[in-house]
Amino acid sequence: MRRKQRSSRRLITAALSAGLIALGLVPAGAGQAAAGPAAEPTNLALNKPIEASSTTQNYFAPNANDNNTSTYWEATGHPSTLTVKLGANADLQSVVVKLNPDAAWATRTQSIEVLGREQSAQGFKSLKARADYSFNPSANRNIVTIPVTGRYADVQLKIFSNSSGYGGQAAEFQVIGTPAPNPDLTVSNLTWDPAKPSESDAVTVNATVRNTGSAASAATTANVSVGGTVAGSAAVPALGAGESAVAKVAVGKRAQGSYTVSAIVDPTDTIDEQNEDNNSRTADTKLTVTQSPGPDLEITGITSNPANPAVGAKVTFAAKVHNRGTSTAGAGSVTRLTVGGTTLNGTAPAVAAGETATVDISGSWTATSGGATLTATADATNTVAETNENNNVFARSIVVGRGAAVPYIEYEAEDGRYDGTLLEADAKRTFGHTNYASESSGRKSVRLNSTGQYVEFTSTSAANSIVVRNSIPDAPGGGGQEKTLSLYADGKFVQKLALSSKHSWLYGNTDQPEGLTNTPGGDARRLFDESHALLTQTYPQGTKFKLQRDAGDDAAFYIVDLVDLEQVAPPASKPAECTSITTYGAVPNDGVDDTTAIQRAVTADQNGDISCVWIPAGQWRQEQKILTDDPLNRGQFNQVGIRDVTIRGAGMWHSQLYTLTPPHQAGGINHPHEGNFGFDIDDNTKISGIAIFGSGAIRGGDGNAEGGVGLNGRFGKNTKIENVWIEHANVGAWVGRDYSNIPELWGPGDGLEFSGMRIRNTYADGVNFTNGTRNSTVFNSSFRNTGDDALAVWASKYVKDTSTDVGHDNAFRNNTVQLPWRANGIAVYGGYGNKIENNLVYDTMNYPGIMLATDHDPIPFTGQTLIANNGLYRTGGAFWNEDQEFGAITLFAQGPDIPGVTIRDTDIHDSTYDGIQFKTGGGTMPDVKISDVTISKSNNGSGILAMSGARGSATLTDVSISGSRDGDIFKEPGSQFVINGGGAPGSPVREFTAR
Give per-residue pLDDT as tens, 947-960.
999 999 999 999 99
Report pLDDT digits (tens) over 266-280. 987 788 888 877 898
Rounded average pLDDT over 81-101: 94
What b/e sequence results for 439-473 when a residue is b if at least 16 CB atoms lie within 10 Å of its CB, and e otherwise?
A: bbbbbbbbbbeeeebbbbbebbbbbbbbbbbbbbb
Cα(254)–Cα(690) distance, integer angstroms: 23
- Three state DSSP letters for 666-703: CCCCCCCCCCCCCEEEEEEEEEEEEEEECCCCCCCHHH
Cα(737)–Cα(546) distance, integer angstroms: 47
Name the least confident of 629-633, 796-800, 805-809, 844-848: 629-633
Half-sphere exposure of 768 (CA within 13 A, CB side): 25
| 600-603 contacts, C-beta under 8 A, 24 or more apart | 602/626, 602/642, 602/645, 602/647, 603/628, 603/629
The yes-or-no verdict on residue 259 having pLDDT over 60 is yes
Beta carbons within 10 angstroms of residue 47's beta carbon: 11
For residue 602, what are the contacts with CB-CB under 8 A and spacing of at least 6? 613, 626, 642, 645, 647
According to the model, what pLDDT value does residue 268 have? 73
Torsions phi, psi for 743 (to 5 deg): -55, -35
Cα(614)–Cα(572) distance, integer angstroms: 11
Distances (CA, A) of 605 to 3, 572, 578, 620, 705: 40, 20, 9, 19, 33
For residue 285, what are the contacts with CB-CB under 8 A and spacing of at least 6? none
Cα(511)–Cα(963) distance, integer angstroms: 31
Distances (CA, A) of 72 to 64, 75, 453, 668: 5, 10, 51, 12
Cα(241)–Cα(249) distance, integer angstroms: 24
662: exposed, middle or buried (Cβ count in 10 Å: 0-12, 13-18, 19+): buried
Cα(405)–Cα(815) distance, integer angstroms: 8
Asked if 826 and 788 touch (Cβ cutoff 8 Å), the reply is no
According to the model, what pLDDT value does residue 866 have? 98
926: exposed, middle or buried (Cβ count in 10 Å: 0-12, 13-18, 19+): middle
Cα(21)–Cα(536) distance, integer angstroms: 29
534: exposed, middle or buried (Cβ count in 10 Å: 0-12, 13-18, 19+): middle
Torsions phi, psi for 415 (to 5 deg): -90, -10
Torsions phi, psi for 595 (to 5 deg): -55, -45
- Three state DSSP letters for 754-821: EECCEEECCCCCCEEECCCCECCEEECCEEECCCCCCEEEECCCCCCCCCCCCCECCEEECCEEECCC
Cα(499)–Cα(470) distance, integer angstroms: 8
Q: What is the DSSP letter of 601?
A: H
Rounded average pLDDT over 472-478: 94
More confident residue, 573 or 776: 776
Task: With H, G, I as helix, E, B as strand and everything else as coil, classify residue 240.
Answer: coil
Cis omega before residue 575 (within 30°)? no
Distances (CA, A) of 477 to 49, 211, 518: 17, 30, 9
Report pLDDT digits (tens) over 193-204. 999 999 889 999
- Predicted confidence band of residue 21 (pLDDT cuts 50, 70, 90): very low
Task: State if pTM tops 0.75.
Answer: yes
Per the prediction, the chain carries an average pLDDT of: 91
Please provide the DSSP assignment of 373-428 as one string: EEEEETTTT--S--S-TTS-EEEEEE--SSS---SEEEEEGGGSEEESEEEE--TT
Torsions phi, psi for 65 (to 5 deg): -140, 40
Torsions phi, psi for 927 (to 5 deg): 55, 50
| AA letter at 545 | F
For residue 24, what are the contacts with CB-CB under 8 A and spacing of at least 6? none
Please provide the DSSP assignment of 709-730 as one string: EEEEE---BS-EEEEEEEES-S
Asked if 682 and 715 touch (Cβ cutoff 8 Å), the reply is yes
Asked if 902 and 865 touch (Cβ cutoff 8 Å), the reply is yes
Tell me, rounded to whole angstroms, the distance of Cα 110 from its chain centroid.
40
Task: With H, G, I as helix, E, B as strand and everything else as coil, classify residue 29.
Answer: coil
Name 261's bridge partners: 226
Which of the given ranges, 511-515, 632-636, 683-687, has the highest pLDDT on average? Answer: 683-687
Beta carbons within 10 angstroms of residue 580's beta carbon: 16
Rounded average pLDDT over 413-432: 98
The yes-or-no verdict on residue 85 having pLDDT over 80 is yes
Q: What angle do CA 521, 523, 529 make, to 5 degrees?
A: 95
The yes-or-no verdict on residue 991 having pLDDT over 90 is no
According to the model, what pLDDT value does residue 4 have? 30
- Predicted confidence band of residue 3 (pLDDT cuts 50, 70, 90): very low
- Predicted confidence band of residue 781 (pLDDT cuts 50, 70, 90): very high
Report pLDDT digits (tens) over 432-466. 999 999 999 999 999 999 999 999 999 999 999 99
Report pLDDT digits (tens) over 23-51. 232 333 333 333 345 578 999 999 898 99
Report pLDDT digits (tens) over 714-760. 999 999 999 999 999 999 999 999 999 999 999 999 999 999 999 99
690: exposed, middle or buried (Cβ count in 10 Å: 0-12, 13-18, 19+): buried
- Predicted confidence band of residue 990 (pLDDT cuts 50, 70, 90): low
Cα(644)–Cα(596) distance, integer angstroms: 19
According to the model, what pLDDT value does residue 686 have? 98
Cα(756)–Cα(773) distance, integer angstroms: 20
Distances (CA, A) of 329 to 253, 350, 353: 21, 6, 8
According to the model, what pLDDT value does residue 38 have? 58
- Predicted confidence band of residue 769 (pLDDT cuts 50, 70, 90): very high
Which is it for strands 767-769 and 753-755: parallel, antiparallel or unpaired?
unpaired
According to the model, what pLDDT value does residue 654 have? 95
Number of H helices, E strands in the chain: 3, 73
Cα(86)–Cα(88) distance, integer angstroms: 6
The yes-or-no verdict on residue 878 having pLDDT over 60 is yes
The yes-or-no verdict on residue 111 having pLDDT over 90 is yes
